[in-house]
Each structure stands twice: as C-alpha cells, then as structure tokens.
A and B are shown apart, each in its own frame.
Chain A
Amino acid sequence: MTRLLDARLVAERGAFGLDLPLRVGAGETVALLGPNGAGKTTALRSLAGLHALSEGHVTLAGRDLDRPGRVWVAPERRGIGVVFQDYLLFPHLTALDNVAFGPRRRGLGRARARQLAADWLARVGLAELASRRPRELSGGQAQRVALARALAVEPTLLLLDEPLAALDARTRLDTRAELHRHLERHEGAAVLVTHDPVDALVLADRLVVVEDGAVVQEGDAETVTARPRTDYVARLVGLNLYRGRAEGHSVRLDDGTVLTAADAIDGEAFAAFPPSAVALHADRPEGSPRNVWEARVAGVHRHGDNLRVQLDGPLRAASDVTPGAAAQLGLVSGMRVWAAVKAAEIRAYPA
C-alpha cells in the first residue's frame, strides 16, 4: 500500500495542545477515535487547511500542503474533500447544484458539472431527489448528498467529521453500511473522526485513538478491541482493564491484588477481561476459578438482555449477569458478593 498522507499535526488552542502523527495509505480508511475535546476535529481542520499548524507538516501524495513558516496551501487548492458533521449543504442550492459546486470550481462547464453531479447522486441512490433543497431532505439523505458532494471533486484525501452522529439509530445503521461501501471503493486515503466505536470499527481499516491531543493507541480493530491500553478504550470496547507488573501468569496490580492470566509475560503489563467473564456468587466459590475476590455491589443497570453490575472493592470491575442469576442472588446496591474470573478469560499483554 502506497502511503498517500504523511502528517504530523501540531496545533495549539489556548491551554490545549495537539500533537498527532498520522499516516494513511491509498485506499485506506483511518478512524480518529476519541472522547469529545480530544482534538480530533482540530486535527481534521488542520488537514483540510481550515486551521494552520503551529508545527509539523501535512504532505499529501508527495506534495507539501502545510509546513509552518515555509509552505501553506489554501484549502481550495488542496484537493481534499470534507464531509462535515452537520453536512453544511448550501441551503440556497438544490442537491444537484450542491454536488456540482465542486466540479464547477474545478473548471467544468455547467452542463458537464451537472451531469457529473447527477452521476454521483445516482451512485448514492438519490437520483430522484436531485432538485430538492437541503431542507427538504431527511438526515440520511442529506448525509449522502454531502458524501456525493465531497467525492465529486475526486479528492486524494477524504475527511469525514462524525459523519453519522446527527442521524437517528435506524438511519444510522443503513447509512453506515452505505458509507462503508463508498469508502471501500474510494481509491484515495480517508480519515474519519468519530467518538462512536461502532462507526470506527465498521468503517475503518485502522484505528487511531486520541486522548488529550495525543495518540494513546493505534492498530487494527482486532488489536485495539482485544488489547485496550487506556480506560477510555476499555470502556468503549466493554472490557475491564488493569495495569500492573507481570511475572509469568501473575499480574500484580498497583493496589496489591494479583490476577492470574492466560498469557505468560514479564514486566509492565495490562490485564483485561470482559464483564461476561465475571461470575458472581453469594458465598466464596469452591473449585477451579483462580481469581476470586470479595466485592461490594455499587450499581446494577440493564445492559442488553443482561444486567451489568458495577463492583467496588479491591477491584473496580463490571460484571454481566443474567436477570435470573441476579434474582437468585437478590442483587441490590451495597450488598457484598464474591466475584470470580477464570484465568483463561484474562488476557495479559505488555504495557
């Protein structure tokens, strides 16, 4: 895979600083995943040229777009398409003219630009809505017009800022699948900003997790979900995560608790297990589980078909139990239970 985008995005906004290295190959989609205020949108804006870098560089297809003090290419000359969070379709233009706007600016005649725009609208399945104004479009339709508008300039780099955040759950599902199809077909690079792990996992080939303006974890979906490296990622993917020192199968946590894991490693390590691996008992369980501790129930919530139990105690952890099991235990906040996790369920990996 040829590397299309090579960037180091350094920007300052008051007390907040962003320093983000980013490389994206041709045909690759990278998701910048992170909580609100992590700097994802600032990163996207600096790529698009809507925000100047204070340091670092943006190089796209071998061409420098931003090198503070040396090179600055204005957004209109970058060849970067952007799908904005609330789409920003021009309210005074029809869907067709919105999509034709880019091609027109690239010197195409009105008729040819409109033909091209019609093709793109057909490609996103909206050929029959070409003459509608943005306010006459549903959220999902507006999203697709925005995508067609960004793609119609055949951008080397496509940027998507929370492309699905404004949609309701049902529309989101369909639009996500549709967007995935278009991203697969897109030959340039794509950078997607989202705080929704599902969007990131479905749409992106690679995840870059950003917190407080810095990359905290990077990798494909499998690695990130199986081996989270921060509490934020662990919560996103629904894992209990701890940090400690490993010696063989034992991981000694900072508070002194020792977990027995499936993997044998040495040195600084993370230990992670899913809430479904945590069994709860009224009395200390006998037999095989290697990890048993007494905990206090801090809260019980619905979680899908099960109940998610928040545990305090030596270890803060989440446990998923069936409603039946919860009834049998008589789970209420404040009660004491025994928690057990099989060693085979705990993954350990170097920190």
Chain B
Amino acid sequence: MSEAVPQAAPAEARRASRGPRRQRVPVALLVPALLGLAFLTLPLAGLLIRAPWSTMPQRLAEPEVLEALRLSVFTATAATVLCLVFGVPLAWLLARVDFRGKGLVRALVTVPLVLPPVVGGVALLLVFGRNGLVGGWLDEAFGVSLPFTTAGVVAAMAFVAMPFLVVSVEGALRGADARYEEAAATLGAGRWTVFTRVTLPLVAPGIAAGAVLSWARALGEFGATITFAGNFPGRTQTMPLAVYLALETDLEAAIVLSLILLAVSVTVLACLRDRWTAAP
C-alpha cells in the first residue's frame, strides 16, 4: 500500500534497492481506486458517527437486543456445526476421491454462493415445508416441522454457509501434501485413521478458517431466514432481522444492532487476517 504514490527522490533510492523496477500508478487507475475505497468505508464511518454513544450501555442491555444476539449466536454456531459435520467429508470427497460427475457436484455445492438467499428460502420452504417433499414426511413420521422454528433458522443458515466451508476446506486439502497420507499408510494406518490422525490435523487451519467464515455468513443471514423461518422474536428473529424491523420504528436501535454485527465482522476479519488480507 505504501508504494502506491512514489515520490521523486526517496522512491528512486527505494527502486534501486528493491530490485524489480516499480512503475508510477496512472491517475486513471488511482482515482477510481481511491473512490472505491471511500465507497466501501464511508458507510461504516457513517454508522460509527451516527451511533448513540451516550445511551449505548442501556441500549445494549435491552432484553430484545440481548435476545436477538443470543439467538443469533446460538443459531449461527449450530449452523456452523452442521456445516462442519457434513461439509468436511464433502470437501474430502471432492479433494481426494476421483469419481464421475465431480465437476457437476462441485458446481452444485457452490450454487448457494451465488443464489439470492431469498430464493434459497423459497426452495427450502418447498422441500422442508409442511407440504414439501421432505417436510411432509418429517412431519408425519417424527412430528418435526422446520419452517418458522429455530431449527428452521439453523437450516436456512447452514444452507447459505456450507459452500463457504466446503470451498475453504477443499482448498486446504488440495494444498496439503498428500504424501503425508501415503507415509501414514506405509506405517499401517487405514484410510479413516489417516483422515483423523494426519489429514485433519494438517488442514486444521483451513477448517478453522472455513468455520469462521461460515459462522460469519450464518450470522449475517437474512433473506433465506425470513423467507423460511419468519420473524418471531425469541424464536426466529436473529440480529439482521431485528435490525430490519427496528429500522421502521427506532433508527437508533437499528444502528446499535448494526454496530454489534459490525464489531463481530471486524473480529472475524481479524481472526482471518493472516489467511485473507496477507494476500501475495
């Protein structure tokens, strides 16, 4: 970042010492770049500037805020666990096993990444709704119904967050040296043991990053949740839904809730610092 605008004399010296020559940044690139940066950061600054800092402690202690926060953290965590349980094996399958139609499977896995979440919510409703393909059977056989329940929130979150985990873990698995697994095999470890004793520890950082990313995605989930699970305080009203609702009645409350989500996002980014912002 620091060498974006080279200045005459010191830049010459630096250029000589840094080896490959560096070029001036053309104005035609620099201006839109700075405008883009401002566009990304100004709204966040606005949020901080308009925040009701004086009444913040009371605001944070309001039962509705705490309830929404508690529900959000609980459901996002549960969704992340679901993502781990199903996503890690799926990523392993994609990274380590050759099978027909793998390209198609990978494409299907990533669909929720680009699908508008509200469409995901509608799709979930069609499948897990009381009259849906799986939902009807779940209801008859077990008396379980997902829509408009906390479990439904978790399902909606897992649906949108799982691709992040799968993509992240698959990348980590591909990056990990598969010869460690061969070494483990020659020492007498079967495939399951190799997976638990060697593969998992080797890609643990990738899994952690994927989990954090999934958790953040789940925490911010709005469209699929409100479509599939509705907006019931204490049951399905997560933070983003509470923000949306508060916006119509109490702007300050919306700002406070937004700030909490922002703080969580920044924390997540800090956790992923090494992996995401230290790009080449």
Chain A interface (Cβ within 8 Å of chain B)?
Answer: 48-50, 74-78, 80-82, 84, 88, 90-92, 101-102, 105-106, 149-150, 153
Contacts and interface: CB of A to CB of B under 8 A. Distances in A.
Per DSSP, chain B at the interface is helix
Contact of A50 (B177, B182, B188): B182
A49 B188 CA distance: 12
A84 B201 contact: no
A102 B177 CA distance: 19
Contacts of B201: 90, 92
Interface string B198-232: 10011010000000000000000000000000000
B244 interface: no
Given A76-B190, A105-B188, A105-B193, A91 B183 contact: no
B185 interface: yes
A74 B197 CA distance: 18
Nearest to B198: A90
B202 A91 contact: yes
A18 to B, nearest CB: 19
Contact of A92 (B177, B189, B202): B202
B186 interface: yes
Given A84-B179, A88-B179, A90-B180, A75 B186 contact: yes
Interface centre among B177, B186, B189, B204 (most CB of A within 10 A): B186
A102 B186 CA distance: 8
Contacts of B28: none
Given A88-B180, A91-B202, A92-B202, A80 B197 contact: no
B81 interface: no
B183 A88 contact: yes
Contacts of B188: 76-77, 102, 105-106, 153
B246 interface: no
Contacts of A149: 187
23 contacts: A50-B186, A74-B185, A74-B190, A75-B185, A75-B186, A76-B185, A76-B189, A76-B190, A81-B186, A82-B183, A82-B186, A90-B180, A90-B183, A90-B202, A92-B204, A101-B189, A102-B187, A102-B188, A105-B187, A105-B189, A150-B186, A150-B187, A153-B187
A167 B202 CA distance: 25
Contacts of B193: 105
B186 A76 contact: yes
A76 B194 CA distance: 10
A150 B188 CA distance: 11
Sort A-B residue pairs by CB-CB distance and give the 10 closest, nearest first: A105-B188, A102-B187, A92-B201, A88-B183, A75-B185, A82-B186, A76-B185, A76-B188, A105-B189, A50-B182
A84 B183 CA distance: 8
Interface centre among B183, B193, B198, B201 (most CB of A within 10 A): B183
B184 interface: yes
Contacts of B182: 48, 50, 75, 88
Nearest to B189: A105
A74 B190 CA distance: 9
B186 A48 contact: yes
A259 to B, nearest CB: 49
Nearest to A51: B182
Interface centre among A49, A84, A88, A153 (most CB of B within 10 A): A88
A81 B198 CA distance: 17
B197 A101 contact: yes
Contacts of A150: 186-187
A207 B198 CA distance: 35
Nearest to A89: B183
Nearest to B177: A88
A80 B186 CA distance: 7
Interface in B163-193: 177, 179-180, 182-190, 193
A134 to B, nearest CB: 11
